[in-house]
Amino acid sequence: MNILVTGGAGFIGSAVIRYLINETEHHVLNVDKLTYAGNLESLISVSDHARYHFVQADICDHASLTRLFSEFQPDVVMHLAAESHVDRSIDSPAEFIHTNIVGTYTLLEVSRKYWQNLSKIEKSSFKFHHISTDEVYGDLDGITDLFTETTPYLPSSPYSASKASSDHLVRAWHRTYGLPVVVTNCSNNYGPYHFPEKLIPLMILNALDGKPLPVYGNGRQIRDWLFVEDHACALYRVATEGLVGETYNIGGHNEKQNIDVVKTICKILDELKPRLNGQTYESLITFVNDRPGHDLRYAIDASKIERELGWKPQESFETGLRKTVEWYLNNLEWCHRVQDGSYQRESLGEAV
């Protein structure tokens, strides 16, 4: 198949493309604007492959997308391009509205026109896979509640509201125009090639520099963590075997309080790279004002994808986190280069 991936130079998109090139025979076109979050270096291991192609383009650019669809003739679109960082969405929401909502609308329109002109057989096998987040559901009150595919949407941040909007657009294009879509909503990802503004890489890199480890509020917020390569595998499963019109929640069955995530990172670093001053990394933890609108708890019920498509995560949080810390220790050059001097791991939200 020809698989068009948007946002393939990002954290999850690059894991998807590495998976598609290494584990399948499909041809891949990576369409990415290369914002601060997009790094072609994350794709170096596959970029010379004959089945891999890259075009720098904006998903809001109707004309470029139309031309790319016509040239590449995709069988499947995997749509990951987005502005993805909650703190940035609090500081400057405009780009989130533009890329996540207008960009998804533009991609849907181009996909619809392209799909309508396919032959009957091609039409029936085409699929538009929209990749979204569990943050659209808002947060959970109870300790045992889980987000299911039918949980009502209640987004809290400009980021999650923009993703919720895009999910609604995708489902409307299915209901109104018959475009064959599948939607996935996934929990927090972590793993190699994660841009250093996100919690786990931020903590690893700050710790190695002996800088404070800023934890929002009391650190008791609960997130469900999924290793990015498990997510890439799940996305491929849904893109190829998911039923049209369906939504699949994807999660790691790893609910952790943020403070425990940070303490676990510190313990792994104490073991792998002890501090020269003999102190523990945990002594660097500093509590900072909470993020405005901070959701308390997310937890995913991922039983549908396991039951219907036979997918479940391979990594436990312990094994995945150790792999991640080891990866960062071995790839500090990548971190320095992607940061490019313009981002120095400062906190971007109001809560500093």
- Residue 227 binding ligand NAD, by CB under 6 A: no
Interface with ligand NAD (CB under 6 A), residue from 89, 106, 111, 133? 133
Smallest separation (angstroms) from ligand NAD to the CB of 32: 5
Q: Is 81 in the site for ligand NAD (CB under 6 A)?
A: yes
- Sorted by sequence, the CB contacts under 8 Å of residue 94 that are 6+ apart come out as none
* Catalytic-role residue among 137, 159, 236, 328: 159
Per CB under 6 A, 146 contacts ligand NAD: no
Residues 273-312 that bind ligand NAD (CB under 6 A): none
In the set 58, 135, 167, 295, the catalytic residue is: 135
Closer CB to ligand NAD, residue 13 or residue 284? 13
Residue 216 annotated among the catalytic residues of the structure: no
Candidates 76, 81, 78, 41; CA nearest to 61 is: 81
- 134, 167, 229, 295: which one is catalytic? 134
Cα–Cα distances in Å, from 79 out to 130, 199, 230, 237, 260? 5, 24, 18, 15, 32
Q: Is 43 in the site for ligand NAD (CB under 6 A)?
A: no
* Distance in Å, CB of 266 to ligand NAD, minimum: 21
CA neighbor of 322 nearest in space, from 189, 187, 191 = 191
Nearer to ligand NAD, 103 or 349 (CB): 103
Nearer of residues 78 and 284 to ligand NAD, judged by Cβ: 78
Nearer to ligand NAD, 31 or 269 (CB): 31
Binding range to ligand NAD, per CB under 6 A, among 56-64, 241-249, 267-275, 290-298: 56-64
- Residue nearer to ligand NAD on the CB measure, 281 or 298: 298
Kindly state whether residue 338 participates in binding ligand NAD, applying the rule CB under 6 A.
Answer: no
- Number of residues near ligand NAD (by CB under 6 A): 31
The residue (of 128 and 195) whose beta carbon lies closer to ligand NAD is 195
Q: State yes or no: is 87 an active-site residue.
A: no
Q: Is 137 an active-site residue?
A: no
Residue 74 as a binder of ligand NAD (CB under 6 A): the answer is: no
* CB nearer to ligand NAD: pick between 185 and 281: 185
Specify the stretch interacting with ligand NAD by CB under 6 A; choose among 144-152, 170-178, 187-195, 238-246.
187-195
| Cα 164 to Cα 50: distance, rounded to the nearest angstrom | 36
Judged by CB under 6 A, which stretch of 116-124, 126-134, 137-145, 173-181 contacts ligand NAD?
Answer: 126-134
Q: What is the 3-state secondary structure (H, E, C) of the chain?
A: CEEEEECCCCHHHHHHHHHHHHHCCCEEEEEECCCCCCCHHHHCCCCCCCCEEEEECCCCCHHHHHHHHHHHCCCEEEECCCCCCHHHHHHCCHHHHHHHHHHHHHHHHHHHHHHHCCCHHHHHHCEEEEEEEHHHHCCCCCCCCCECCCCCCCCCCHHHHHHHHHHHHHHHHHHHHCCCEEEEEECEEECCCCCCCCHHHHHHHHHHCCCCEEEECCCCCEEEEEEHHHHHHHHHHHHHHCCCCCEEEECCCCEEEHHHHHHHHHHHHHHHCCCCCCCCHHHHEEEECCCCCCCCECCECCHHHHHHHCCCCCCCHHHHHHHHHHHHHHCHHHHHHHHCCCCCCCCCCCCC
d(CA 159, CA 91): 11
Please state the closest distance from residue 283 (CB atom) to ligand NAD, in A: 28
**Binding to ligand NAD in span 147-176, by CB under 6 A:** 163
Give the footprint of ligand NAD on this chain (CB under 6 A).
6-7, 9-13, 32-35, 37-38, 58-60, 80-84, 99, 103, 131-133, 163, 186, 188-189, 195
- Catalytic residue numbers? 134-135, 159
